[in-house]
Chain A
Amino acid sequence: MARVVVDVMLKPEILDPQGQAVANALPRLGVTDVSSVRIGRRIEIEFDGEPDLDRAREIADKLLANPVIEDYQVRVVAAAEVA
């Protein structure tokens, strides 16, 4: 199976209120040694044939991420890794 994983994260300088809300809730679990939580999105793309990283990058840049506020990383996942 040809799977490409795209990880999209808000840029470090962009406030992540969702992550902050989670970080603020952690003490209620008794967790007091976490200083920051950032929440992103993982997208899995399956190609019919060979994984095409360049096309995946184009998809990520145009649609999956908004480069104004988000960074993204694109990588091929080995078949053994695919759950």
Chain B
Amino acid sequence: MTMRIGVVTFPGSLDDGDAARAARIAGAEAVRLWHGDPDLHGVDAVVLPGGFSYGDYLRCGAIARFAPVMETIVDAARGGLPVLGICNGFQVLCEAHLLPGALTRNQHLHFRNRDQWLKVEATNTAWTNGFTPGQEILIPVKNGEGCYVADPATLDKLEAEGRVIARYIKGNPNGSQRDIAGITNEAGNVVGIMPHPEHAVEALTGPSLDGLGFFTSVLRALAGSSAGGQLAGGQQ
């Protein structure tokens, strides 16, 4: 059976089309979800795409957190639904307290738009199980508020529990603490990442095909869980 990956559109989402396309290229059915509709329409996983939800007025992701669809997604994520937040989606996940920490203005204040090397670290999550630990991947980064911050205790906890899923290498584009590019929750089903894997899924439009691994990973995790196993890295 074809897995269904939901992609949320908030007012101001930019990369929802690309995220849906990446899901299709990975072999899933992409289901468009609307911010004002709390129904998840039976999807097997959800992507919160990049962009500027609600114009990023107030603070990135702060208003999206209270969208009707998010109330449902927060509950479902706590119940084990795989959720991937990319860029603005990562900001929304932090504001929704599904992931710790916060994303702040890039330290140099400049918007950064470039192809970025990452080192994948945690491969026991729903969205990264297709990578090998230490694998270096190239995917685009484009953000103005991508600097990951958390208090030292939280950072130590993330490191100790192996919850940093990817780190910037060959340059840190925004000043993120400890070069963190992406993290996961304790159960491994919720992942936030600042760079854009959905922009690196085919040779014509991306610098590599490395981003596809996130979308094929979740299909593998879902296939595993429907076969009676638990989500990769999951404790549900």
Cα–Cα, bound, A1→B63 (Å): 27
Given known A63-B66, A64-B58, A66-B59, contact A17–B106 (CB-CB < 8 A): yes
- Check if A26 is an interface residue, CB within 8 A of chain B: no
- Check if B14 is an interface residue, CB within 8 A of chain A: no
Cα–Cα, bound, A17→B106 (Å): 8
- Check if A14 is an interface residue, CB within 8 A of chain B: yes
Given known A14-B149, A18-B109, contact A69–B62 (CB-CB < 8 A): no
Q: Which chain A positions have C-beta within 8 A of B100?
A: 68
Q: Which chain B positions have C-beta within 8 A of A68?
A: 94, 100-102, 149-150
- Check if B108 is an interface residue, CB within 8 A of chain A: yes
Given known A63-B58, A63-B62, A64-B58, contact A69–B149 (CB-CB < 8 A): yes
Given known A63-B58, A64-B58, A66-B62, contact A18–B105 (CB-CB < 8 A): yes
Interface residues of A in 44-74 (CB under 8 A from B): 63-64, 66, 68-69
- Check if A37 is an interface residue, CB within 8 A of chain B: no
Q: Which chain B positions have C-beta within 8 A of A21?
A: 109
- Check if B104 is an interface residue, CB within 8 A of chain A: yes
As a 0/1 sequence over residues 5 to 25 of chain A, the CB contacts with chain B under 8 angstroms (1 = contact) are 000001000110110010000
Taking A15-B104, A15-B107, A63-B58 as given, write out 12 further A-B residue pairs in contact, using a Cβ cutoff of 8 Å, ordered by the A residue number.
Answer: A15-B149, A17-B109, A18-B109, A63-B62, A63-B63, A63-B66, A64-B58, A66-B95, A66-B102, A68-B101, A68-B149, A68-B150
Top 10 A-B residue pairs of the complex, sorted by shortest distance between their CB atoms: A68-B102, A69-B102, A17-B109, A17-B105, A17-B107, A66-B102, A21-B109, A66-B59, A69-B104, A69-B149
